Amino acid sequence: MDLHLQGKVVIVTGGFKGIGKGIVMELVREGAIPVILNRDDDKTEEFRQEVEQLTKDYAIYLLDLNDTDKIAPIVEDVHAKYGHIDGIVNNAGRNDNKDLETTSWRDFEESIHGNLTHYYELVHAAVGYLKESKGAVVNISSKTALTGQGKTSAYAAAKGAILGLTREWAAALAPDEVRVNAIVVAECWTPLYANWIKTFGDEEAQQARLRVITDKIPLGHRMTTAEEIGATAAFLLSDRSSHTTGQWVFPDGGYVHLDRALS
């Protein structure tokens, strides 16, 4: 299916690895122009080499999204360079396991800032251009917003707020035909997830822990891939989903809605 994304400019936060990279690569395959906002890390050059095997038509802005005041000037620069901004993917974030019992309110607020505020500021800065293009926003959220996890109050609060903002922005921007949707990620295999699994011990212990998780994923008893999240995001950004807004989409193999019902 042609998603009609050829030449569309889409800003993606946290695009060097994991889910963000899966989204960027899918956009590239569809002919879009990804503009990646990412901190400078050990994956920067590796990412450049990989994306340039597919396209030269992309842009990278290196920044720490905690420096929120730097976002608006980047948005202005992107619009000046391309003349249009057609989509936003708010993806960057980290489950930092700030739990209820040991996290001070100051650390809680710092985590909220790191996982939520840049979502708001990027759309705030770009909203006028999205109205011009009748563009789309995709917010990446997490199952923790709906299922809880038990040891990550700040992250769950941020991801819950993202779902609320998705509905709020969809309502606010409907008159301008700007669509806003969220992808609720459950158990998706990423480098961060792989590092977490390694904390359970040797290879046998890691595989045992993975089986506990995948046994609870009804469809295929396997993890979701970053490529599957990327394909969902590309569809939601495209005019093939032209009458879809305010939705929370669950490409999770039935984890959130079916697991508890089936068991």
- Write out the catalytic residue numbers: 155
Reduce the secondary structure of 138-167 to three states and give it as a string. Answer: EEEEECHHHHCCCCCHHHHHHHHHHHHHHH
Report how far residue 52's alpha carbon sits from residue 17's, in angstroms, rounded to the nearest whole number. 15
Half-sphere exposure of 27 (CA within 13 A, CB side): 31
What's the token pair of residue 38?
């990412």
Which residues contact residue 136 at a Cβ distance below 8 angstroms, ignoring those fewer than 6 apart? 86, 87, 88, 130, 178, 179, 180, 181, 236, 237, 238, 241
What's the token pair of residue 30?
């569809």
Residue 152 contacts residue 111 (beta carbons within 8 Å): no
Report how far residue 42's alpha carbon sits from residue 191's, in angstroms, rounded to the nearest whole number. 13
What angle do the packed helices 44-51 and 18-29 form, to 10 degrees? Answer: 20
Residue 130 contacts residue 121 (beta carbons within 8 Å): no
Answer positive or negative: Cα dihedral of 93, 97, 100, 101.
negative
Report how far residue 111's alpha carbon sits from residue 252's, in angstroms, rounded to the nearest whole number. 25
